[in-house]
């Protein structure tokens, strides 16, 4: 069997999605992981000079072995590996950018337990879609190696904590009661430190050694109820959590209501004084209606597309996604302190920024002051990606037929948008957006309406109709 990198990768069943290379744990063999790591570094060598590579992992049981395979091949290539153990993805990215070295994060983020992934960072930030294609086509032979992990360093986690303690005033959160839904988040060991040092009274909630695939775009009914119950039990001012690798926030207000990620992003950008935004097409239209931002660019879904759009913006620049992950595209000045750019999804910054913006007000006041546009989203799992693509391609050609199939035949279409999937805006202002997930065999549905219940109902009606067509 060929040991050429491109052949190993092509035969691995692992593919790049909206954020990194994803696949089944069983597909991430030592050989496949080593091939991806070697190919990534080979591509980085074309543009950068470096002698070290940073590696971090999430709390999935499979992540440490995958990291060992990556570290082993990199050391066989003559590089030193800075191994930072379990930490949030943005903490690894931030440290790598400061050190001007490439980085590999072993994480499947929010996707199901039987899957995992690899995220790659250039010395100057996330890899591009062009970098992804280059990684897939390196023809070098795989270097012989033995899987092994170096000693774990806490430097990246420590510096990530200090990044925010340097910006926000001590005792900013004095008198605040904050719950941290820890589950299996990669950042659970440092979030309590940050909130406590800023003066909050912190309560840890539901820490577990069993991996929990939290999806901040599709919060389960069980987690929605937990937020309500915890708020009543503890009287929290806010509840903070993240997805598995700590790059997507999950934030609840004082009522225990989880805030939508794009609303979190909007408020975070407002708190930071950002004026130019890049956001995916799936985000809430309250972003434009709020009148806060001088320019908003809509992109395909995925952080590489958001980052690519930064080149078209000027001044204070940021981006965020419907999942709440916030990307700071430029340095910003906060009360005389400079917060350095971090152009990758971050969960901790939005949590702190919203609490700083609220001040003595409850968090719910922030959302009440925005244009009242409500979004909801959910997904159908185990939907073959090709089926979704074929279904949406046909639907774009015959949108009226699609509406009939979805039980929406009486509605009038105002605009179709195929930036990413199929997004339909109706004359009455409602929006339905269908797209295949870039990370798993899932079909996602986003809806926007004038009320939360209406948006949620629209999502369920559409997904139930699609389920019938699929069956």
DSSP string, 309-362: HGGG--SSEEEE-TT--EEE-S-EEETTEEEPPEEEEESHHHHHHHHHHHTTS-
The topology (CATH level 3) of 166-368 is: Alpha-D-Glucose-1,6-Bisphosphate; Chain A, domain 3 (3.40.120)
pLDDT in tens, 259-288: 999 999 999 999 999 999 999 999 999 999
β 422-426/413-417 pair status: antiparallel
Instruction: Judge whether 211 and 189 are in contact, CB under 8 Å.
Output: no
Q: Is 368 helix (H, G, I), strand (E, B) or coil?
A: helix
Listed in sequence order, the residues at least 6 apart from 206 whose beta carbon sits closer than 8 Å to its beta carbon are 181, 182, 183, 226
Is 62 an active-site residue? no
Q: What is the mean pLDDT of residues 148-172?
A: 97
| CA atoms of 433 and 298, how far apart (whole Å) | 14
* Spans of all domains in the chain: 5-153, 166-368, 374-470
pLDDT surpassing 50 at residue 1: no
> pLDDT by residue (tens digit) across 163-210?
999 999 999 999 999 999 999 999 999 999 999 999 999 999 999 988
Q: CA-to-CA distance for 44 and 445, rounded, in angstroms?
A: 36
Q: Kindly report the backbone phi and psi dihedral angles of residue 406, in degrees, each rounded to the nearest multiple of 5, phi listed first.
A: -95, 5
Same fold, 166-368 and 374-470: no
**pTM for the complete prediction?**
0.90
**DSSP per-residue codes, 4-46:** BHHHHHHTTT-EE-SSSEEEEGGG--HHHHHHHHHHHHHHHHT
Contact between residue 245 and residue 107 where contact means Cβ atoms under 8 Å apart = yes
Q: What's residue 217's pLDDT?
A: 80
**Backbone φ and ψ of 378, nearest 5°:** -160, -175
DSSP string, 87-123: --HHHHHHHHHHHT--EEEE--TTS-TTEEEEEEEET
Provide CB contacts within 8 A for 356, sequence distance 6+: 168, 172, 271
Options 3.40.120.10, 3.40.1800.10, 3.40.50.150, 3.40.50.300; CATH for 5-153 is 3.40.120.10
Q: Mean pLDDT, to the nearest integer, of 14-32?
A: 93
DSSP assignment of 391-406, as one string? HHHHHHH-HHHHHHHT
CA–CA distance, 281 with 349 (Å, rounded to integer):
22
Digit-coded pLDDT (tens) for 235-266 = 999 999 999 999 999 999 999 999 999 999 99
Superfamily of structural domain 374-470: Alpha-D-phosphohexomutase, C-terminal domain (3.30.310.50)
Catalytic option among 12, 62, 64, 109: 109
Best CA proximity match to 58, nearest among 84, 86, 34, 79: 86
| 343-384: pLDDT as tens digits | 999 999 999 999 999 999 999 999 999 999 998 888 899 999
* Mean pLDDT on 102-120: 92
Check pLDDT > 70 for residue 2: no
Q: What would the mean pLDDT of 439-461 be, rounded to a whole number?
A: 91
271 vs 303 pLDDT, higher one: 271
Percentages of the chain per state (helix, strand, coil), in multiples of 5? 35, 25, 40
Q: Which residues contact 95 (CB under 8 A, 6 or more apart)?
A: 54, 82, 84, 103, 155, 156, 159, 160
24 has pLDDT over 50: yes
Question: Closest Cα partner for 432 from 446, 420, 443?
Answer: 446
Is 22:112 a contact under the CB 8 Å cutoff?
no
**pLDDT tens profile 113-134:** 899 999 999 999 999 999 999 9
């Amino acid at each position: 069997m060929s040991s050429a990198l491109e052949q190993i990768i092509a035969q691995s069943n692992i593919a790049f999605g909206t954020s990194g290379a994803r696949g089944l744990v069983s597909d991430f063999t030592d050989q496949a992981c080593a091939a991806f790591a070697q190919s990534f570094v080979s591509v980085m060598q074309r543009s950068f000079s470096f002698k070290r590579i940073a590696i971090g992992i999430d709390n999935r049981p499979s992540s440490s072995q995958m990291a060992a395979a990556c570290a082993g091949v990199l050391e066989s290539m003559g590089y030193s590996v800075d191994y930072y153990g379990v930490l949030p993805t943005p903490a690894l990215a931030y440290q790598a950018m400061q050190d001007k070295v490439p980085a590999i994060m072993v994480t499947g983020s929010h996707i199901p337990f039987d899957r995992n992934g690899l995220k790659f960072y250039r010395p100057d930030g996330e890899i591009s879609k062009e970098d992804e294609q280059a990684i897939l086509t390196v023809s070098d032979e795989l270097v012989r190696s033995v899987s092994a992990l170096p000693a774990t360093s806490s430097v990246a986690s420590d510096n990530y904590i200090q990044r925010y303690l340097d910006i926000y005033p001590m005792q900013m959160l004095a008198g605040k009661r904050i719950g941290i839904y820890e589950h299996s988040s990669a950042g659970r060991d440092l979030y309590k430190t940050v909130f406590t040092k800023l003066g909050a009274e912190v309560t840890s909630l539901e820490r577990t050694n069993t991996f929990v695939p939290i999806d901040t775009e599709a919060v389960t009914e069980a987690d929605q109820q937990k937020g309500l119950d915890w708020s009543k039990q503890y009287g929290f001012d806010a509840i903070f959590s993240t997805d598995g690798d700590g790059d997507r926030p999950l934030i609840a207000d004082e009522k225990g209501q989880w805030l939508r990620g794009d609303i979190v992003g909007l408020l975070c950008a407002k708190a930071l004084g950002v004026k130019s935004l890049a956001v995916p097409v799936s985000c809430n239209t309250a972003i434009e209606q709020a009148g806060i931002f001088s320019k908003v660019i809509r992109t395909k879904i995925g952080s590489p597309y958001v980052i690519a759009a930064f080149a078209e913006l000027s001044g204070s620049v940021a981006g965020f996604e419907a999942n709440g992950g916030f990307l700071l595209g430029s340095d910003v000045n906060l009360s005389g302190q400079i917060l350095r750019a971090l152009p990758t999804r971050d969960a901790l910054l939005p949590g702190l920024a919203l609490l700083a913006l609220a001040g003595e007000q409850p968090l719910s006041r922030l959302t009440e002051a925005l244009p009242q546009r409500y979004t909801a989203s959910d997904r159908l799992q185990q939907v073959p990606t090709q089926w979704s693509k074929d279904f949406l391609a046909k639907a774009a050609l015959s949108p009226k037929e699609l509406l009939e199939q979805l039980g929406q035949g009486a509605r009038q279409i105002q605009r179709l948008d195929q930036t990413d999937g199929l997004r339909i805006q109706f004359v009455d202002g409602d929006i339905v957006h269908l797209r295949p997930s870039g990370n798993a065999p899932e079909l996602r549905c986003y809806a926007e309406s004038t009320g939360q219940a209406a948006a949620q109902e629209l999502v369920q009606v559409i997904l139930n109709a699609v389920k019938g067509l699929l069956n």
